Amino acid sequence: MSAAPSSVTPAIRFDGVSKSFGPTHALRAVSFDVAPGSVHALIGLNGSGKSTLVKVLAGYHTADEGAISTGRVAFVHQDLGLLPSLTVLENFAIGREMSMRFGQIDWKAEAARAVDALAEFGLAHTVHQRMSSLPLAQQAIIACARALDRSRDSNIDALILDEPTSALPSNEIDLLADAMKVYAARGIGIVFITHRLQEVKDLADMVTVLRNGELVHTGPTADVSIPDMVQLMVGDAPASVEADWAPPRQDVEPTLVARAVSSSTLRSIDLSIRPGEIVGAFGMVGSGLEHVGGIFAGREAPAAGSVELNGSALVPGSALARQVGYVPSDRPRRGVLPGLSVRENISIRSLRAMLSWRGISRKGESRLARHWTDELSVKPRDPDAPILTLSGGNQQKAILARWLAIGPDAIVAEEPTQGIDVWAKQDILRRLRVAATEGAAVLLTAVEPEEILDFCDRVVVLRRGEIVLDAARSDVAITDILSAMH
């Protein structure tokens, strides 16, 4: 299936779409067509403008300039928006007008409608099953079918899939691919946003690449290789930056050592981190990376193998494991202590040191909080502000300060720069470097290597639960890392 001839009305036409947020140009004059009946992949690094483009299309943002012409569009977002404890049928019916009969929900009519929507994917038998009992790929297809069902009275022109595959195991992606073919055959234009370049090659007819808000390439997928796509996404970024710190010593015993660590997603990982070393671990969602942080910080037990801190095994819940600094990726739910103040969020691990017969020293605690809010330039400077009144970046600083305050031998930070502004990012990464210089072993994990790569001494890439690249930062370029991830 190649690009449709230009005489056909496109399913979506982006015509010079620009959008700025203050001084930041999120999109600059982006123009391309999505042909009816084609699968059009949209790729780009973090911050390239993909999600802004989707939000403009969805009407969440208004374009500053340019126009989008399209008919009806259905969206399926990354988290699929399903209710896992309900049945497939209930998921279909809830949230829209339901068929009623004698004042009750007409489940027969609802079931018929759901079966109708699912039959062509061979999923009609699932209507009465609980959503959570189905494989993720089937859930993704059901989410798509539901999105179309919502607007079945009017014909859909385009379907936007915003990273629906990011959580799928690779062997389930074929199912979704078949579903996409069914929709394309109906003449629907599909925009498919993904981080996985192999999927672009396998599933998409056309590919559009965004970089820093600009469209840098659009054309048939057959014309570009995966290395080409990486190059297009990265542009001519410098291969590496000069480190302005001394390389970590190689003649010391490693602080944090993982021996043959396996979990549901990791396969026999060996990795050791020396004092003073910052290791960046990268991988796509589904690569097993999401379990690395918790296991290395001793917060989760591996299924097999062990992680040792200074030669002693880390057991979750043990006093030793609680000494490892851990900055979880899900900051709102797992990082901050939401009801408490900035001061209390920072001091929670340092209270014993400030204890006298009069209890926790008020002065000592305030001094500690003040010291760290200054050190990391936490705004506002008021340590008694409730933590939730701070921006994400400042919350992240407070969580990091919690650990820096006890001077841990090892710090594990998942997605340390996720959802935070560029200044906070610099403050956090610089302070982690200081901690490393003072002797801490640091492990950072990220699905988007460009965020933190330049602050690492060593780079590890995970794919399908295995380490596929382990090299000094100075020996690899970002293109090598992205290629290893895909």
Within 19-38, which residues bind another protein (CB under 8 A)?
A: 23
Nearer of residues 301 and 360 to another protein, judged by Cβ: 360
CA distance from start to end of the chain: 24
Tell me the window of 160-168, 240-248, 272-280, 351-359 that interacts with another protein (CB under 8 A). Answer: 351-359
Within 307-346, which residues bind another protein (CB under 8 A)?
A: 317, 322-323, 326, 328, 333-340, 344
Rounded distance between C-alpha atoms, residue 379 and residue 374, angstroms: 9
Would you give the binding string for another protein spanning residues 402-431, x where CB under 8 A is met? x--------------------x--------
Give the one residue of 3, 237, 360, 468 binding another protein; rule: CB under 8 A: 360
Nearer of residues 45 and 327 to another protein, judged by Cβ: 327
The answer to whether 458 contacts another protein (rule: CB under 8 A) is: no
Residue 313 CB, shortest distance to another protein, in Å, is 17
Rounded distance between C-alpha atoms, residue 298 and residue 306, angstroms: 10
Q: Which of 229, 232, 236, 272 has the alpha carbon at shortest distance from 252?
A: 272
Question: Tokens standing for 77?
Answer: 């977002």
Would you give the binding string for another protein spanning residues 94-123, x where CB under 8 A is met? ------------------------------
Rounded distance between C-alpha atoms, residue 372 and residue 349, angstroms: 13
Residue 347 CB, shortest distance to another protein, in Å, is 8
Residue 425 CB, shortest distance to another protein, in Å, is 14
Tell me the window of 182-190, 203-211, 242-250, 373-381 that interacts with another protein (CB under 8 A). Answer: 373-381
Residue 433 exposed, middle or buried by CB count within 10 Å (0-12, 13-18, 19+): buried
Q: Which of 82, 99, 86, 196 has the alpha carbon at shortest distance from 145?
A: 82
Return the SS3 of 124: helix
Q: Among all chains, which residue has been given the structure tokens 């699905």?
A: 447
Pairing outcome for strands 65-70 and 12-21? antiparallel
Render 350-418 in DSSP notation, one character per residue. Answer: TTGGGEETTEE-HHHHHHHHHHHHHHTT-SS--TTSBGGGS-HHHHHHHHHHHHHTT--SEEEEESTTT
Nearer of residues 301 and 388 to another protein, judged by Cβ: 388
Task: Check: CB of residue 115 under 8 Å from CB of residue 89.
Answer: no
Residue 446 CB, shortest distance to another protein, in Å, is 18
Could you tell me if residue 103 is left (phi over 0), alpha (psi between -120 and 50 degrees) or otherwise beta?
Answer: left
Nearer of residues 184 and 399 to another protein, judged by Cβ: 399
Q: CA of 212: how far to CAs of 36, 278, 357, 372, 426, in Å? A: 27, 28, 58, 34, 19
Give the one residue of 58, 381, 434, 472 binding another protein; rule: CB under 8 A: 381
The answer to whether 464 contacts another protein (rule: CB under 8 A) is: no
Residue 388 CB, shortest distance to another protein, in Å, is 5
Give the one residue of 254, 386, 407, 439 binding another protein; rule: CB under 8 A: 386
The answer to whether 299 contacts another protein (rule: CB under 8 A) is: yes
Task: Kindly report the number of other CB atoms within 10 A of residue 355's CB atom.
Answer: 11
The answer to whether 447 contacts another protein (rule: CB under 8 A) is: no
Rounded distance between C-alpha atoms, residue 64 and residue 56, angstroms: 10
Residue 254 CB, shortest distance to another protein, in Å, is 22
The answer to whether 380 contacts another protein (rule: CB under 8 A) is: yes
The answer to whether 291 contacts another protein (rule: CB under 8 A) is: no
The answer to whether 349 contacts another protein (rule: CB under 8 A) is: yes
Within 138-197, which residues bind another protein (CB under 8 A)?
A: none
Rounded distance between C-alpha atoms, residue 260 and residue 266, angstroms: 9
Angle between helices 478-485 and 226-234 in degrees, nearest 10 = 130
Give the one residue of 355, 367, 374, 475 binding another protein; rule: CB under 8 A: 355
Strand arrangement of the beta sheet that strand 73-76 belongs to: 73-76, 158-162, 189-193, 39-43, 206-211, 214-220
Nearer of residues 24 and 151 to another protein, judged by Cβ: 24
Question: Tokens standing for 248?
Answer: 């970590």
Read off the DSSP letter of residue 2.
-
Residues in a beta bridge with 26: none
Tell me the window of 3-11, 55-63, 159-167, 352-360 that interacts with another protein (CB under 8 A). Answer: 352-360
Give the one residue of 206, 230, 385, 482 binding another protein; rule: CB under 8 A: 385
Residue 423 CB, shortest distance to another protein, in Å, is 7
Residue 450 CB, shortest distance to another protein, in Å, is 20
Residue 160 CB, shortest distance to another protein, in Å, is 32
Instruction: List interacting residues with another protein (CB under 8 A).
Output: 23, 299, 317, 322-323, 326, 328, 333-340, 344, 347-349, 351-352, 355, 358-360, 379-382, 385-386, 388, 399, 402, 423
